[in-house]
Structure 1
């Protein structure tokens, strides 16, 4: 078993729901707040950002990356809108007014690039938890300004990512599919089940995500199926060796 208890555990948690260009997500703030709380209970040093514009997201990501050392356990959680375009996954910031497919590279955050930048720091373990597979409407750069709502692409979900050595990426739903934002509940469906299982002591992270997948599938009648992409070296990696407080 590869224990994480003696290692420094760092988490960057971002929740964005108050989108300036519409398509708001009422549960993203709750998701980020509750995920931050449970991660702190299991020993993570948590940096939390809510409703961030792109420049604030970028500053937070750079500062977090620069804090990573080779023995750290690193976790990145994002609740908000995400979309894929030209084989890249983009995390959408709060200032999404006027974002079109041609401006995603400069106005959104490339998730694979974030993972690559974290991996360069050679942490012991990197975990990405992406609860951002909602349907997101992106305006085409070639759209007719006289008919701005006509024939706009609906970019559904995210694509599979390249898991670097020592990394695990968990998506709220299968590649190209969309996730349930938990309308009428306080959490999105994926995060709801993460919160239920992530703080179980001594439990391997792969078992945790299997339980999350089972719970999400059962509650959604298999309409939503989380997807995990990983490249882990050790056979048993618990995120929680013991609780540091009551949860």
Structure 2
């Protein structure tokens, strides 16, 4: 039986220049496949299923750790390390745990079985298994935005000779508010391992995630129909949902969705605009062109960073574009520039709505009415980093390019950066 939990906190993002699914943080996954069992029946497909899921998740922006044929110590360490990485990654992270292999239920609890599992009765499960509830606690303790758990297990009873294991499948688990629970088959039923290279459920799930970009509810409806057809009705995927917002593995581009990575890359791949390159890296932190974008950005930094511009103002303040000697700081009102920025501080302006598109060609619905700080994920530190590209002899080209708050805002950022971003 496969179980998926997509846990709470899925707030619809205000701005669409973000990674798939509306989340602005990282996507981190741990994928485990156990097949070569030492004391119970070998399963031919879980390692292949885990490999397929790893590839599928990586294509949707997840950084994936793959573990196969793990004993209990290896499995528990991988899960503990996964939980630690989530706690370090921050609250906007999306966490996903996938397991394929043997699993059983006992006294209402579900247990995942490492490859070295050997028991004489069900009382041994706490000693040799990995309780599914412990896995969930690792994820939920990180308090990240989204938690997803997929268990493709219960393909047959691994202990048919033991009288205590009379219940088939896994026990049904309650979905807390903001969660989505999906079973590969009805609670208490057995899922098929499959006659091909993958289980029917994992193959269908991987294909549908990679298919038309739809909500998680639509994805699983298509999975259910496909598995029913492929198993001649023997296996019925089962879902219950308490989601309060939408979740997408790959949302569609346009209103309500994220921009297509290829389209965004086409607009930045000439490597001449550091702001666009940084925007791409923020929007697609695991994107297929990440290495190229980082290399281009590093090259631009080496040629147009703070070291190539004038020396900082010894007084630690900058004078505005009008040269009146008034300081440009993060919190002080701007005194020179276009009317829409005069009298407001940099801190205020980056929380306002953009007046111009961040770059040419972007659809209006992706920036109009949005908030600049979310469009660019601006903080004082990130804005200071961006402002370095407006400093120095080679910065004139960057200064003349479009900016959501206008060119004179860039000029004030330049003067602010020259003073060390006070």
- Contact kept in structure 2, 1:14 and 1:50, CA below 8 Å: yes
- CA contact 2:121–2:164 (8 Å) conserved in 1: no
Q: Which residues in structure 2 correspond to 1:1-247 (within 5 Å)?
A: 1-2=12-13, 3-4=21-22, 6-68=24-86, 69-98=90-119, 100-138=121-159, 149=161, 151=163, 153-183=165-195, 185-200=196-211, 202-234=213-245, 236-241=246-251, 242=260
In 1, distance between residues paired with 2:78 and 2:163? 35
Structure 2 gap segments, 5+ residues each: 1-11, 14-20, 252-259, 262-286, 289-422
Offset, 1:129: 1.3
Deviations 1:21-56 (A, max 9, x none): 131110111100111011111100101100001111
Distance in structure 2 (CA, Å) of the matches to 1:167 and 1:156: 24
Task: Say if 1:79 and 1:132, in contact at 8 Å, map to a contact too.
Answer: yes
User: 1:166: how far off?
Assistant: 3.5
Matches of 2:120 and 2:207 in 1, distance apart? 35
Q: Is the 8 A contact 1:5 1:240 kept in 2?
A: no
Q: For 1:12, what is the secondary structure of its paired residue?
A: strand
CA distance in 1, matches of 2:211, 2:120: 40
- The Cα of 1:136 is off from its aligned counterpart by 1.8
Kindly indicate whether the alpha-carbon contact (under 8 Å) linking 2:23 and 2:92 is maintained by their aligned counterparts in 1. Answer: no
Unaligned ranges ≥5, structure 1: 140-148
Q: Does the Cα contact within 8 Å between 1:164 and 1:231 map onto a contact in 2?
A: yes
TM-score for the superposition, normalised by structure 1: 0.87
Tell me how far apart the structure 2 counterparts of residues 124 and 205 of structure 1 sit (CA, whole Å). 16
- Per-residue deviation, 1:201: 5.5
Higher-helix-fraction structure: 2
SS in 1 for 2:40: coil
Change in CA separation of 1:187 and 1:150 when aligned onto 2, cut-off 3 Å: closer
The superposition leaves residues 212-237 of structure 1 with CA deviations (integer Å, 9 ceiling, x where unpaired) of 11111111122111122433221x21
Greater RCO (Cα-Cα under 8 Å, separation 6 or more)? 1
1:5 Cα deviation from its structure 2 partner: 5.2
Question: For residues 115 and 152 of structure 1, do their structure 2 counterparts lie closer, same or farther at Cα, with a shift above 3 Å needed?
Answer: closer
Structure number with higher strand proportion: 1
With structure 2 as the length reference, what TM-score do the two structures score? Answer: 0.52
Provide the alpha-carbon RMSD of the alignment: 2.0
Contact 1:53–1:95 (CA under 8 A) maintained in structure 2: yes
2: CA distance between counterparts of 1:46 and 1:161? Answer: 25
SS, match of residue 114 in structure 2? coil
SS of alignment partner, residue 13 of structure 1:
strand
- How many matched pairs? 234
Distance in 2 separating the partners of 1:127 and 1:201: 20
Q: Distance in 1 between matches of 2:61 and 2:104?
A: 31
Secondary structure, counterpart of 1:135 in structure 2? coil
CA distance in 1, matches of 2:156, 2:162: 17
Structure index of larger Rg: 2
**Greater mean alpha carbon deviation, residues 112-121 or residues 149-158:** 149-158
**Residue deviations 1:53-82, cap 9 Å, x none?**
111110011110111132111111111011
Cα distance, 1:155–1:54 mapped onto 2, change above 3 Å: farther
Of 203-212 and 223-232, the range deviating more from structure 2: 223-232
